[in-house]
Amino acid sequence: MSSAVIITVSLKDSSSDPPKLKLKDSIGDSGDNNLNTDVSLGANITWVPDLASGIQSIDIVPNNGQTSIFESGPTGDGTGKFVATIKETEPIDPVTNKKVKSENYTIKFLIDGDDTEYPHDPKLTIKN
């Protein structure tokens, strides 16, 4: 049985350079401009932009060049949210032949009144 994790993406400070995010997940973790979310194998992940905070939109991009823990996604669902599913078994890196336990990914975001796209790099870690 898979579990679900919701990650809320909020704008913390638009005056800093670059703007800072506040991330909070549904399992009780939060971080100012960084977050390492523990996920279960097979988990469904949903990123939700907090539009009231000044976030205009988000885009979730996996880190190319590494073995991914994503089975599917992240893809936009048409409402501004992004969804992904974690693989049912830990993937094996073909170069090191070791299990891949985490994924760095990028949240690209736009804020109200600014047409510059900003990146933010949190992490997902498969919990044991």
Instruction: Flag whether pLDDT at 35 surpasses 90.
Output: no
pLDDT band at 17 (very low <50, low <70, confident <90, very high): confident
Read off the tokens for 35: 């977050």
In a domain, 67, yes or no: yes
In a domain, 128, yes or no: no
In a domain, 21, yes or no: yes
In a domain, 117, yes or no: yes
In percent, how much of the chain has pLDDT > 90? Answer: 63
Domain count of the fold of the chain? 1
For range 15-28, the mean pLDDT: 86
What residue numbers bound the domain in which 69 lies?
4-123
In a domain, 116, yes or no: yes
Q: What is the pLDDT of residue 66?
A: 77
Task: Categorise residue 14: left if φ over 0, alpha if ψ from -120 to 50, beta otherwise.
Answer: alpha
Task: Categorise residue 95: left if φ over 0, alpha if ψ from -120 to 50, beta otherwise.
Answer: alpha
pLDDT in tens, 54-113: 999 999 998 877 789 999 989 999 999 999 999 999 999 888 999 999 999 999 999 998
Instruction: Flag whether pLDDT at 33 surpasses 50.
Output: yes
Q: What is the pLDDT of residue 32?
A: 62
Q: What is the pLDDT of residue 4?
A: 92
Give the CATH number of the domain where residue 80 resides: 2.60.40
Environment class of 103 (CB within 10 Å of its CB; exposed 0-12, middle 13-18, buried 19+): buried
For range 12-18, the mean pLDDT: 84
- Percentages helix, strand, coil for the chain (3-state, rounded to 5) are 0, 55, 45
